[in-house]
Amino acid sequence: MFFDGNHTYMIEPGGENTTSEEVHVHMIYQSPGLDPPEDFISAVHLAESPFQNPPLSSAAHRRKKRQIAQNPRSVADETKYIELMVINDHLMYKKHRLSVGQTNNYAKSVVNMADLYFKEQINTRIVLVAMETWAADNRFNINDDPMVTLREFMKYRRDFIKEKCDSIHLFSGNRFHSNWGGASYIGGVCSLTKGGGVNEYGKTEEMAITLAQSLGQNIGIFSDKKRILNGECKCEDKWSGCIMDDVG
């Protein structure tokens, strides 16, 4: 059966061939009273090559559009990963009984807790790819000003760190002259000279919050205090707060 745009035709095998050639005879006749459905697509379009893909019927086209609308893809749906390297300075090493193992375990706990914040709130995982602990002495001067220390730290990274990572952070046993407890570059992730931060020692959960906020700044997130004060920005998580919130 085929449809030429106006009428429906039936095809049936005909009688036997009277010649010696292998030719199969068929009979074609118009089917009376058989109207094609509204979304019927002709098997042969007379104005085009029969080998082209036929267009979708209106019903099939609507169904395909619904399927696309029901399964939108966005960056928020995909799990992202930040590869992090941590360096523990000599003061951090001293605060953990001169034990590299205890120092590293503490740092891992901090990273794991920060990873939970990122996983739950922005579908992003923090992957610890390398760690270094300065057991002998600090490799550069740790200044009380966190921004001065951050600049020196980035110079150290550029000149001496060979490991590949998206961001590198210094965990310091020093107490910085800062209300925030650290410093980092905004939007510096993946940059050799800007992809990093410094964080001062504290309780595990406190340092995890500072690390999460530092990494948040690295990927371009910052706290909009004006919108918070105006009530335009509210955190739905009343337990742990938002990443860039002052309390977690």
* pLDDT score of 39: 46
- Is 11 among the domain residues? no
- Is 203 among the domain residues? yes
Mean pLDDT by 10 residues, the chain (248 residues): 60 60 62 51 41 50 57 78 99 98 98 95 96 98 97 98 98 91 95 97 95 96 72 59 64
Torsion sign (Cα): 171, 177, 181, 185: negative
* pLDDT score of 48: 43
- Is 245 among the domain residues? no
* pLDDT score of 16: 58
- Is 169 among the domain residues? yes
- Is 143 among the domain residues? yes
130: CATH? 3.40.390.10
- Is 139 among the domain residues? yes
* pLDDT score of 245: 72
pTM: 0.67
- Is 183 among the domain residues? yes
Total domains in the fold of the chain: 1
- Is 246 among the domain residues? no
Q: Whole domain around residue 102: which residue ranges? A: 80-230
